[in-house]
Amino acid sequence: MEELIRKYNIPDGFYTRYFKQNAEFRYGVELLQFLYFKCGKFLNPSKKDFYINTYINEEIDNFYNKNQINLPHLSFCITTKCSLKCKDCGSLIPLFNEHGHISISLEEFKENLDKILASVNKIRRLILFGGEPLLYNDLDKLIDYSCKKENIDIVQIITNGTIIPDKKILKALVDNNKKVYLHISNYSATKDVYLKLKHNKIRELLKDYDIKLQMDDGGGWLKEFGFSNEKSNPETTIKKYKKCFCSHCTQVLNNKMYVCSKGSCAIELKLVDADDYVDLKNSKNLKQDIIDFYNKDYLKACEYCISSDTIVMPALQN
């Protein structure tokens, strides 16, 4: 691996954000495919480092010798509408209540996804989230459309667990149950929202339909401090970006490809003046724009972002 990094003079940021992420997400997706959908092969967890190193080498070969681009994962924020009003929302979603919400149309979603898939070889994991995606009226159609794409490995729906899937969504999940699963963000330890959660009903319903369900461990959130009026210097910004858990993200909002949900929402809300996203509607060379996007050391929004190390309870309500 080190030899290949030197051979192709791969920058640290591009290596970490593109090659390493591709390998890690590929490993995670292949585990899920075997455990949830009974396809593929068993990967021995004790050999995780071996698999990831192997996949890194393969991704470097794919990129430099086969001219292939694989997206580790891609999240679509399909709506900023949410059933909760979280104080420390890392996506600043409650602010849209005052400024007007953004929801992608079915046609925009198809157009965005088709353009991206025409420029890359694979999306390893496609994520549909919000806001709260179960508030989106055409979620069933987005699921159907995404799951029919052969070069998308797996589709994940992230919900906060306050809404029971309706019949349309259940049918789409059943029809595509070899590729899609529901993920619940677990806020059950937070008294503010405990009574709103419908975890048990959702579990029972999905079990009846043999729909795969994943629930996270309900860990804490980082306290949200918003943005500064003054930008940090490049050295500080790079350190901030490398440390930030959002630096591994890639999301689409309002026909643009961003890195993190906080930065994208801040730009859409005009809290930050930045334009270093990929414009999916107007890009002249989307493949190259995506490569350049992964090759950034940081984003302009990062210059103003106030980072946080303070852990708070998840989903505390305003």
Decide which of 2.60.200, 3.20.20, 3.40.50, 1.10.3470 is the CATH code for 69-312. 3.20.20
Confirm if 71 and 151 have CB atoms less than 8 A apart: no
pLDDT confidence band for 2 (50 / 70 / 90): confident
SS3 114: helix
Task: Give the pLDDT confidence score for residue 248 in this predicted structure.
Answer: 87
pLDDT per residue as tens digits for the range 246-279: 888 999 999 999 999 999 999 999 999 999 899 9
pLDDT confidence band for 175 (50 / 70 / 90): very high
Give 233's contacts (C-beta < 8 A, 6+ positions apart): none
Task: Give the pLDDT confidence score for residue 99 in this predicted structure.
Answer: 87
Confirm if 314 and 190 have CB atoms less than 8 A apart: yes
What token pair was written down for 125? 């994991």
pLDDT per residue as tens digits for the range 5-62: 999 999 999 999 999 999 999 999 999 999 999 999 999 999 999 999 999 999 999 9
Task: Give the pLDDT confidence score for residue 28 in this predicted structure.
Answer: 96
Give me the long-range contacts of 225-229 (CB less than 8 A, separation at least 24): 225/306, 225/307, 225/308, 226/92, 226/271, 226/306, 227/266, 227/271, 227/272, 227/301, 227/304, 227/305, 227/306, 228/304, 228/305, 228/306, 229/304
In angstroms, the CA 126 to CA 129 distance is 10
pLDDT per residue as tens digits for the range 178-203: 999 999 999 999 999 999 999 999 99
CA atoms within 13 A on the CB side of 182: 29
Task: Give the pLDDT confidence score for residue 91 in this predicted structure.
Answer: 95
Q: What percent of the chain has pLDDT over 70?
A: 100
For the chain, give every domain's residue range: 69-312
pLDDT confidence band for 1 (50 / 70 / 90): confident
Confirm if 156 and 142 have CB atoms less than 8 A apart: no
pTM comes to 0.96
